Amino acid sequence: VTLLSFDERFIVLAAGVGATLEALLLAETGAPGGTIASSVLLLLTAGAFSAYASRRVIALVQRVSSEHLRIERMGRYFSPQVAALLEGGELAAAESRTVTILFSDLRDFTALAETLRSEEVVALLNDYHTRMVETIFSHGGTLDKYLGDGIMAYFGAPAAQPDHAERAVRCALAMQGALAPLNAERAARGERPLRMGIGIHTGPVVVGDIGAPRRREYTAIGDAVNVAARLEELTKTHGAPILVSQETRQAVGDGLRFSPATEAFLRGRTQQVLTYVPVGAGAS
In the chain, which stretches have pLDDT less than 70? 1-19, 21-28, 30-31, 33-36, 39-44, 46-82, 85-93, 281-284
Number of domains in the chain: 2
User: Do residue 166 and residue 55 come from a single domain?
Assistant: no
Residue 274 near residue 246 (C-beta atoms within 8 A): yes
| Exposed/middle/buried for residue 232 (C-beta within 10 Å: 0-12, 13-18, 19+) | buried
Beta strands 215-221; 150-155: pairing state: unpaired
Query: For residue 3, what pLDDT is reported?
Result: 47
> Which CATH number is 168's domain given?
3.30.70.1230
E strand segments, the chain:
95-106, 142-147, 150-155, 196-212, 215-221, 242-245, 256-265, 272-281
Contacts of 174 (CB under 8 A, 6+ apart): 135, 138, 139
Query: 228 in a domain, yes or no?
Result: yes
Query: 4 in a domain, yes or no?
Result: no
How far is the C-alpha of 175 from the C-alpha of 22, rounded, in Å? 72
Q: Give the bridge partners for 88, in sequence order.
A: none
Query: 193 in a domain, yes or no?
Result: yes
User: Do residue 111 and residue 186 come from a single domain?
Assistant: yes
Give the structural domain span for 17.
9-75
Query: For residue 16, what pLDDT is reported?
Result: 63
Which pTM was predicted? 0.73
User: Do residue 63 and residue 137 come from a single domain?
Assistant: no
